[in-house]
Amino acid sequence: MPTLLSWVLGIVFFPITLLASWVVVHPQEEKIVLFWGKLARVLKSPGLSFINLFGRKVITISTKQQAVEINKTTVADANANPIIVAGICTFRVVDSVKAALHVEDYLGFVRSQAAAVLKQVASKYPYESTEGHGLKDEAAKIGQEMVSVLARKVESAGVEVIAYELSDLRDPGLRTGGAGGQHEVRGRTPQGHRDIAQGPAGQVAARRWTRVAGATSSRRCPAFLVPYAPARRPRPLAAGWVTR
Give the pLDDT of the chain (244 residues) as one tens digit per residue: 666 666 677 677 777 777 777 889 999 999 999 988 889 899 999 999 888 888 788 999 999 999 999 999 999 988 888 999 999 999 999 999 999 999 999 999 999 999 999 999 999 889 887 776 788 888 888 999 999 999 999 999 999 999 999 998 888 776 444 444 433 434 443 333 334 344 444 333 433 333 434 444 445 555 555 555 555 555 555 555 555 4
Supply the pLDDT for residue 37. Answer: 84
Supply the pLDDT for residue 183. Answer: 39
Supply the pLDDT for residue 115. Answer: 95
Taking a C-beta distance cutoff of 8 angstroms, is the pair 82, 39 a contact? no
Supply the pLDDT for residue 85. Answer: 93
Question: Following DSSP, what letter does each residue of the chain receive, concatenated?
Answer: -HHHHHHHHHHHTHHHHHHH-EEEE-TTEEEEEEETTEEEEEE-SSEEEE--STTEEEEEEE-S-EEEEEEEEEEE-TTS-EEEEEEEEEEEES-HHHHHHTSS-HHHHHHHHHHHHHHHHHTTS-S--TTS-STTT-HHHHHHHHHHHHHHHSGGGTEEEEEEEEEEEE-TTEEE-STT---EEES-PPTT-------TT---PPPPEEEPTT--S--EEEGGGSTTPPPPPPPPPPTT----
Supply the pLDDT for residue 96. Answer: 94
Sketch the domain layout of the chain as residue ranges. 2-62, 66-170
Supply the pLDDT for residue 68. Answer: 94
Say what the pTM is.
0.65
Q: Which fold has domain 66-170?
A: Tetrahydropterin Synthase; Chain A (3.30.479)
